[in-house]
Amino acid sequence: MNLRPAKPDDVAQILAFIYDLALFERSPDAVQMTEPQLYDALFGAPPRAAALLVEHEGAACGFAVWYETFNTWTGKPGLYLEDLFIAEAARGLGAGKAIFQYLARVAVQRDCARLEFSVLDWNENAIKFYQSRGAQPLSEWTKYRITGEKLRALAAGDS
């Protein structure tokens, strides 16, 4: 298993994995991002996110995308793992463990207070994996989202 920071020529592969993740998460039509958008997010000035590519026996088999957050209570940054995906054929080979160890090292090096992520409530394998890494669910918090036309209306003062 080989982990490495993504390079600009990895953008198409990472976007393909994002589509695979959307399919796995039962949202095959949800991805709107384009290769130029992903390139800008990962390699623009400034980059908005970072990515890691996972390779096994010379072939890409997974990825992770994360970005830095900030917590006012701790006064420190945090890392938010936006996406993690390992192709089915490569699951169980240690890629997920390697990714979490890598991200933990990044978080410690940056003096981050936390590493956070979300998981779908039906994804029992992921939940067990995350808990085996020491993760704890935050059941007292409910995630909210404003998107699309409602976001535009709010920005325009129409709500």
User: Which residue is listed with tokens 């209306």?
Assistant: 153
Q: Domain limits at 92?
A: 2-156
Number of domains composing the chain: 1
15: which 2 tokens? 């976007």
> Can you tell me whether residue 152 is helix, strand or coil?
helix
Query: Cβ contacts of residue 140 below 8 Å, gap of 6+?
Result: none
List the catalytic residue out of 19, 67, 102, 130.
130
Whether the ω angle into residue 36 lies within 30 degrees of 0, i.e. cis, is no
Residues in the chain, total = 159
Secondary structure tally for the chain: helices H, strands E: 5, 5
Q: pTM value? A: 0.92
pLDDT, tens digit only, all 159 positions of the chain: 899 999 999 999 999 999 999 999 999 999 999 999 999 999 999 999 999 999 999 999 999 999 999 999 999 999 999 999 999 999 999 999 999 999 999 999 999 999 999 999 999 999 998 999 999 999 898 889 899 999 999 999 986
Active site residue 144: no
β strands within 2-148, DSSP E: 2-5, 50-56, 59-71, 76-86, 114-117
CA distances from 48 to 38, 44, 104 (A): 10, 8, 19
Q: What is the CATH number of the domain that holds 127?
A: 3.40.630.30
| CA gap 42, 77 in Å, rounded | 19
